[in-house]
Structure 1
């Protein structure tokens, strides 16, 4: 039995379970018209979901992804028990490349390959609008509507992809087949200007922030906080430095051979010459410690210092200067061993907002009251998937927007980067003192944000309308953590976000 066939048995049970959280029980998955050996046909429905949209419960029937030359087409059929207002049906949008013009709503339907750590964005035309038919679904007629969306074609050996459908739990697998695209509303693939699969990257902080790691399949960048590594004005490693360097050595050893650059940085206190010398001596100290932990024939180490010349953030406060005091390690090579983020230390106290277990949830009072629960976290293809259930507790209908308490204006990647404020990127997974952020991907680089605009493998439409009594599921996809039975999820208080913490969330291995 193929991997796709084994998972098909699980999806039937998962569909029923999700329906209890997101609306009426979906229709049974039809039996494919083709044989089991041949796989599903393009017109077969391979899974169904119910999502809240425009004040209605919208049934979504998903067909296989059809590969057509350099492109692929996802077909979904939308139906509802009643038509919705044109301006209210909002599936979700993301930002257009190189601009702040919102794309039309089909762009939030992303295909994800967790085996290769890639995300397939909706294809764009020459004006940065999604290549989809219809181009923007505003309402659902009595007989439903078929939506077809274009993407880059996955490689020939990819036979299934995950689907991020805003409003529903992240689902997989959706079969990928070759053949004719199902009949629809004249999707024009000739208008595709940009269709791409982008690498998913991870960002984590370990040992209470002493080690910060940004990793992709091709490169890893590790930042070691100098205040943990060294005493003030010293290049001698502290006893606490050993654990941080152990973490760095393990992360490097998960990669293919390559040269590791080790760069020391200081703050701007003191003169340039002193800081340059201190940064070089600190880089040399880290190289000496790493050399005792890794094979320097396989991973040659190249130390250097930048002094105060390359600050991470403006040196406008004591906190920022502490961030600028660091030693960075960079290795450009492919990952060879499926790695996990280490979990050490104790969970920090939290008094910024309500605290509850994942099963019991918490009430977050923003512009409206919402109940937030996370009954479990799932391990899917070596990643952690967290399905956050947000229920509107009031009786409001025709609401103008959804749970704005998740839409923080910030980016965990630094001040020269942007994470749009209508995403749920602020949902952080914690185990002990380790913090793990959603996988993300860079969609563009601008003069304003030279570090890039990043979208998370999480909900990019967190402001979507939820009427009283409705529940929206917001999934986040994270790196796999070291073996742990439970995790904690929290949101920090900030501009546009309200703090809460959910603890004791069980981690469940999917078959």
Structure 2
């Protein structure tokens, strides 16, 4: 059974002195002791040795510096299911350390298995598909900076070609091992561990988390500068005179950006771009947002690292076509006031929005009047002196959150938003709520909940920094196993729910196999997976789609390539999924896949609703990662 290579420790200790250098060093040390009483002679011999062999002395000093830096990778060990072989297999992944090199960060990984079956990367572990209609990677790998609250996508080289849409887009990734074609890389019997490298934009923090498809989250992967650890590039590793080391050079070198580009392009394509490719690389670092809804009121909240927004339903607050507040408005305001507690300073912006019924002038006045009515009632109910400034404005129907083609869509657009700087520490809402009846099947942790598409089990909920990481396993139920166990929409033209619990035609580009609406229930709040607005690659199909449909990609920090339909007599078959929510201050929580709220849809609604298999699992304990506990 092969032992997994501890690769990067080897990298950082690579620059060992050669045999001749060590002999010279030993001779110098012996001379020093023999002639200890003659200081001038000792100094002269040392200077003479440096003159005779300057390269050896230099190498020796650099080796000492390199050997003092031993930064181990983060190890993930997981057992996955091999659907072709019909049995489980183990995977060991060494992730990082991440090497900062100029403007870019190089993520190294080593993957291996000790199982007796052969595993193919793109088929068995990572899905070789588009990401939200965006061909940014055949692997679903994202870097999460919890300190900056950002997510990074893999770099992509975009260059001209003479066919198709005139552009070729190459993910900046490469494999190192025997064989040539990346999509045929295998591990298992008679195969060495596979080394993989991917290029991202340089990070701002000393460590990041790496979200991997199927395998989950690699926590606190260290980030180091290349000049500090000085690993050889591939060309340097290839030049070693030691045959054994040369045979293992792929475990010893860290490629440069240029080496990755050169390896992944044809020789003719590289010749065309070798002088210009740095200007043709697209890397994306995107701010993360959180979204949650009250289960008692119509108040919802969106948070970024520097900005928060409360959304209050205009239909609940106001009489029809009026700025007069309803009898039920105060309950909504009380929910909003709880969210505003703890704010110290900053501006409170109160913004009114309408649907597109009526003229622009009429709706502008109505939106302003409604915003002013909200300000007046808040002043009656609470002290707003914590804010440095309060502003009120109306946006008419110019900033809809969904289309105005249906009454459901127009209802969502009739709203008032409160924009403010969030408190430094989140206010814990002590209110406990008896959960309403589950929308479908229900189980109490650690039991699994059974639906037609599989048996769903929440293996763990773990707080990692400001993230709450859920690991979910779906096992076959009477031979049936399908991604419908974790999603709330069908695969046809009708999509019942998109990001943040609602279907926007403006929220486009998500995949039918993506986890979006598995929510965390705590207190009186429903938390959706942390997400972000993805900017598509220039001149890509995704960019064209956004232009044509006037929408945006909303992408969750969750599994995006789930197992499609699988029918077998083997009930041991399963697939894994990761979902990341914002951390909550609790000992236990519930997780739910609910029925969708259908706001905008086409096609046969009843047929699509029938595909949804809602469930709820309660009483799940919240754990804390070792790093989070230490902090």
Distance 1:221 1:52 in 2: 40
For residues 252-288 of structure 1, the C-alpha deviation after alignment (integer angstroms, 9 at most, x for no partner) is 5666744433222344567776655443322111112
Greater Cα offset, 281-290 or 189-198: 189-198
Other-structure match for 2:240? none
What count of residue pairs does the alignment treat as equivalent?
470
8 Å Cα contact 2:460-2:472 kept in structure 1? no
Instruction: Measure, in 1, the Cα distance between the counterparts of 2:5 and 2:565.
Output: 27
User: For 1:322 and 1:110, how far apart are their aligned partners in 2?
Assistant: 36
Change (3 A) 1:77 1:297: closer
> What is the DSSP-based 3-state SS (H/G/I as helix, E as strand, rest coil) of the residue aligned with 1:416?
coil
Cα RMSD over matched residues?
3.8
User: CA 1:291–1:383 in 2, change beyond 3 Å: closer, same or farther?
Assistant: farther
Change (3 A) 1:346 1:288: farther
TM-score (norm 2): 0.65
Q: Which runs of 5+ in 1 are unaligned?
A: 1-23
Q: Which residue does the alignment assign to 1:456?
A: 556
Q: Measure the CA separation in 2 of the matches of 1:120 and 1:265.
A: 33
The answer to whether the Cα contact below 8 Å between 2:79 and 2:90 also exists between their aligned partners in 1 is: yes
Are the aligned partners of 2:76 and 2:215 in contact in 1 as well (CA < 8 Å)?
no
1:225 is displaced (CA, Å) by 0.8
Deviations 1:221-257 (A, max 9, x none): 2210123323445534446433433444454566674
TM-score normalised by length of structure 1 = 0.78
**Residue aligning to 1:21:** none
Note the C-alpha offset of 1:210: 1.0
Aligned to 2:506: 416
User: Paired residue for 1:358, among 445, 450, 461?
Assistant: 445
CA separation of 1:386/1:38 partners in 2, compared to 1, >3 Å: closer, same or farther? Answer: farther
- The equivalent position to 1:481 in structure 2, one of 584, 589, 593, is 584
Pair 1:294–1:118, CA change in 2 (3 A): farther
Q: If each structure's helix is expressed as a fraction of its own residues, which one has the higher value? A: 2
CA distance in 2, matches of 1:39, 1:433: 51
Report deviation, 1:391: 2.4
Contact 1:29 1:47 (8 Å CA) reproduced: no
Residue of 136, 147, 153 corresponding to 1:115: 147
Corresponding residue to 2:186 among 133, 140, 145: 140
Contact map agreement 1:40 1:64 (CA 8 A) in 2: no
- Identify the residue that residue 47 of structure 1 maps to in structure 2: 75
Gaps of 5+ in 2: 14-65, 84-88, 159-167, 176-180, 233-248, 262-277, 490-494, 537-545, 597-607
- Distance of aligned partners of 1:87 and 1:176 in 2 relative to their CA distance in 1, 3 Å threshold: closer
d(CA) in 1 for partners of 2:7, 2:172: 28
Residues 452 and 477, structure 2, Cα contact 8 Å, conserved in 1: no
Higher relative contact order (CA 8 A, sep 6+): 1
Q: How does 1:28-427 map to 2 (within 5 A)?
A: 41=70, 44-52=72-80, 55=83, 56-80=89-113, 81=115, 82-84=117-119, 88-92=123-127, 95=130, 100-106=133-139, 108-126=140-158, 127-134=168-175, 136-141=182-187, 142-155=191-204, 158-178=205-225, 179-180=229-230, 184=250, 187=255, 189-190=257-258, 191=261, 193-208=281-296, 210-238=298-326, 240-249=328-337, 251=339, 257-267=345-355, 275-291=363-379, 293=382, 295=384, 298-308=387-397, 310-331=399-420, 335=422, 337-339=424-426, 342=429, 345-351=433-439, 353-366=440-453, 370-393=454-477, 403-407=483-487, 408=489, 409=495, 410-413=497-500, 414-418=504-508, 419-427=510-518
**2: distance between equivalents of 1:131 and 1:336?**
39
User: Is the 2:590–2:616 Cα contact (8 Å) retained in structure 1?
Assistant: no
Which stretch of the first structure deviates more once superposed, 286-295 or 434-443?
286-295
Quick one: structure 1 residues 485 and 235, their matched pair in 2 at CA, closer, same or farther if it must change by over 3 Å? same
What SS does structure 2 have at the residue aligned with 1:195? strand
Compared with structure 1, are the counterparts of its residues 393 and 129 closer, same or farther at alpha carbon in structure 2 (3 Å cutoff)? Answer: farther
| Secondary structure of 1:374's aligned partner | strand
Deviation at 1:373, TM superposition (A): 0.6
Contact conserved, 1:161 with 1:174, CA < 8 A, in 2?
Answer: yes
